[in-house]
Structure 1
């Protein structure tokens, strides 16, 4: 579906969090499931997106992550010990296993085996050893298709429990960071927690996956790392529920025309027809999470869909799905008066008309004020014969 000789784009936790935030969008589900590069697709459709990180931000983030994990992960483990497990033994001489293996399936199997060994080595033998897994890989089933996820790090505590570590390059100023960026990081970490829970469920006994993850960021305006514990239980529950609601990829693909292809190398008209054959659910929030957001926004506006105004507005309007339907219902030309949405729109239209009428009445001159304004307008004008120029237009005015 992505075209011959077109490499697949891996589905990462950031994309999964965005997909879970909009589970009704079949277009994104099938494109992500097929490994389509949506940035290249958006450019071929004539609606390039600025979504994503700049090369400078990526370079800065990689340099900061290398600094945090330097010296055998000593600083990272110190932050985990300080913020999440201060009663445990200090992480001196931590275990850093090698996770190298061919292919994502091999890395996934190697990560699971390493987690099993590290957990038994910590809790089973009573040695109280810390273990740091640098860029492990897990598989998470998403709508019947496996997604391979790679968190920055996972720490195995001396008691055998597991913690997800997220390393970001945005700063923490006076101990707090941008709430929007922290929220995005929490949703991304929640996906990793879900994948870890599936791995833990296959072990006997199943280790505990901590729902407090460690967010590591630069301190103030320096390059020194600082950290904060973030509880992701709410994000984990929402993500799990939304992912469970996703339509299976096979069901979406079966409903497409035969031979549908999303290769950016296709002619523009064929590519547009292929993309439009899959229904999308656009919302303004897509602008911060999807490469096709500009294309879908243009289509939504052209169709007059109320979803372009936001999910909350769409939910309030019920069966009224287009702007023209809403305006017609407000004017009393369409809709059932017993419908709460229609009744509210008509009441709002009446209140608006009354407010405009009142404002126009207040602006209109009345009584003596009108006469004064008329006299003032005529005073001193050529041809004025009422004799008031000296009275209203002179120094006594």
Structure 2
């Protein structure tokens, strides 16, 4: 057995042990991957997502249940809307793609909808790649891939991603289609929701580019100079209900910025193998374990908490509670944390402001002492550490 294959087998065994015996892996979807890329310094999320741990179940077992996620009503409504858009061989969906992204092409009167079913995720990704190859070669026709499966390597471990649809244009270009249940009112939608959809679509674009590179590679594994990944369009189609009806409308969204940011952040992720090797022997995140054991296991992996995690991670309430208990300045937000430099706790910040500790030449310490002096003057109080403050004037 080759060394890379041995390492891959060892990593899979380690991740299975972290999940717990007979605990199935939870697939890492594009939404979770986009959230992980937004916080690449969080080793805790990286290892839990890499191991396929159900973070919602883990948070409940820890006593900090999460309200993160879609309601059952929203899921049902979204599935019904998606089925409506894809009815009749995706005629309405292809019409929207043609109108919004490729009006100069031949209208999609008839389109191919290949069968993408196969055994296991590896089989489905191979079948998707084959369908993309065949559709690209068949120039002059439209092809709709309904729920294709793509693979993307994340921190040394494969993640399988399932976009709502991928359309192959008559010129051989590929477009990602995101179907959402939030409405477009008068041609525009909620900016925060559109941004989240764009970040999710950017992950699919990266995965498609990887497929394009592999399909365009030479026999020796090297891609030719004409960059086959360029066949992936960076303008995706966002399909939503029009106003509050069930009728579909669509808008083209340029995800070049989100794609570049996500790609850069994913390269910063520590390899999952490296994180797993640092964990104490016997570490397990199975939700059925006692809360005390789970707490020890979770706390053995460092986290990088920020208030933005509350909208993106199921463990956010648990991490916030422990960050507050430790007095970490990360609870105040990333901008504040960046301004404070080496001061990582609230106690250290207050001590520096009072002139009890800290290097006076440190810009953060000097700014805190000036702020403390100005506050004291405004309140008519004696400035804390007046002799130190005087030196900072």
TM-score of the superposition, structure 1-length normalised? 0.88
Which residue of structure 2 aligns with residue 281 of structure 1?
304
1:329 pairs, out of 317, 334, 352, with: 352
Which residue of structure 2 aligns with residue 317 of structure 1?
340
Which residue of structure 2 aligns with residue 69 of structure 1?
86
Which residue of structure 2 aligns with residue 304 of structure 1?
327
2:104 pairs, out of 87, 105, 122, with: 87
Which residue of structure 1 aligns with residue 176 of structure 2?
164
> How far off is 1:221 after superposition?
1.1
Find out whether 1:200 has 2:223 as its counterpart. Answer: no
Find out whether 1:181 has 2:228 as its counterpart. Answer: no
- Partner of 1:202, secondary structure, is helix
| Structure 1 portions without partners, runs of 5+ | 123-127, 359-397
Find out whether 1:43 has 2:55 as its counterpart. Answer: no
Mapped to 1, the partners of 2:159 and 2:231 lie a distance apart of 22
Find out whether 1:20 has 2:45 as its counterpart. Answer: no
Find out whether 1:190 has 2:202 as its counterpart. Answer: yes
- Partner of 2:380, secondary structure, is helix
CA displacement 1:112-150 (0-9 Å, x = unmatched): 00000000012xxxxx10000000001000001100000
2:276 pairs, out of 253, 257, 263, with: 253
Mapped to 2, the partners of 1:90 and 1:267 lie a distance apart of 60
Mapped to 2, the partners of 1:202 and 1:247 lie a distance apart of 24
Find out whether 1:146 has 2:158 as its counterpart. Answer: yes
| Structure 2 portions without partners, runs of 5+ | 1-17, 217-225, 382-393
Find out whether 1:294 has 2:311 as its counterpart. Answer: no
Which residue of structure 1 aligns with residue 385 of structure 2?
none
Q: How many residues align?
A: 353
- Partner of 1:163, secondary structure, is strand
Mapped to 2, the partners of 1:257 and 1:244 lie a distance apart of 26
- Partner of 1:32, secondary structure, is helix
CA displacement 1:256-294 (0-9 Å, x = unmatched): 001110001111111110000000000000000000000
Mapped to 1, the partners of 2:111 and 2:365 lie a distance apart of 65
C-alpha RMSD of matched pairs (Å): 0.9
> How far off is 1:203 after superposition?
2.2
Mapped to 2, the partners of 1:269 and 1:33 lie a distance apart of 23
Which residue of structure 2 aligns with residue 120 of structure 1?
137
Mapped to 2, the partners of 1:254 and 1:351 lie a distance apart of 50
> How far off is 1:255 after superposition?
0.4
Mapped to 2, the partners of 1:268 and 1:160 lie a distance apart of 53
Find out whether 1:346 has 2:346 as its counterpart. Answer: no
Mapped to 2, the partners of 1:221 and 1:253 lie a distance apart of 47
> How far off is 1:243 after superposition?
0.3
Which residue of structure 2 aligns with residue 212 of structure 1?
235
Which ranges of 4 or more aligned residues in structure 1 deviate by more than 6 Å?
none
- Partner of 1:81, secondary structure, is helix
Which residue of structure 1 aligns with residue 248 of structure 2?
225
Which residue of structure 1 aligns with residue 73 of structure 2?
56
- Partner of 2:251, secondary structure, is strand
